[in-house]
Amino acid sequence: MELGDAALDAEHAQLQGHALRLLHAAAGEDGLAALQALQAHAREHFAAEDADLRRMEGGNARCHLDEHANVLRSFEEVGAVLARDVLDAEAKQRLVQRLALQLLDWLPEHVREMDAAVARQRFQARTGGAPVRIARVPARREERRAVR
């Protein structure tokens, strides 16, 4: 999930850590506290990204903003259910775990497909250029034979 933007990468790692804590939280107060910590971090992280997205022209900015809003809305809805006493402890724990699993499933693709544009925009704003990524590519079979 690393994009080469240290701040963004750290925030994503923290978001993932909060989601993992939520996954392993017990029912009741533990689950609600873990959800509130995740929600607070996500709200702050999304607000910073959203500011960048509003400055971007074109691309996936609108869809990206909508995804953030939908995730925050999901947190609020689950938090409201947890705060009410309508489910037993086991049902609350299943709800919390289901939310955490959904988030952990969503996050890597969101980072790769959506946040990469934010990282590029931030890099360009800092440096005036585009990032260059150098990676070693395995030689094709024909090239390996020619070298022998």
Burial class of residue 70, CB neighbours in 10 A (0-12, 13-18, 19+): exposed
H/E/C letters for each residue in the chain? Answer: CCCCCHHHHHHHHHHHHHHHHHHHCCCCHHHHHHHHHHHHHHHHHHHHHHHHHHHCCCCCHHHHHHHHHHHHHHHHHHHHHHHCCCCCHHHHHHHHHHHHHHHHHHHHHHHHHHHHHHHHHHHHHHHCCCCCCCCCCCCCHHHHHHHC
Q: Residue 11: how many CB atoms within 10 A of its CB?
A: 19
Domains of the chain: 6-147 (1.20.120.50)
| Residues belonging to the chain | 148
- Looking at residue 144, what is its pLDDT? 54
Q: Tell me the pLDDT of the chain (148 aa) as tens digits.
A: 899 899 999 999 999 999 999 999 876 678 889 999 999 999 999 999 999 999 887 778 999 999 999 999 999 999 999 888 888 888 989 999 999 999 999 999 999 999 998 898 888 888 887 666 677 877 776 655 555 5
Q: Do residues 95 and 82 make contact, with C-beta atoms less than 8 angstroms apart? A: yes
Q: How far apart (Å, rounded) are the C-alpha atoms in residues 25 and 34?
A: 7
Burial class of residue 32, CB neighbours in 10 A (0-12, 13-18, 19+): middle
- Looking at residue 141, what is its pLDDT? 67
Q: Do residues 18 and 38 make contact, with C-beta atoms less than 8 angstroms apart? A: yes
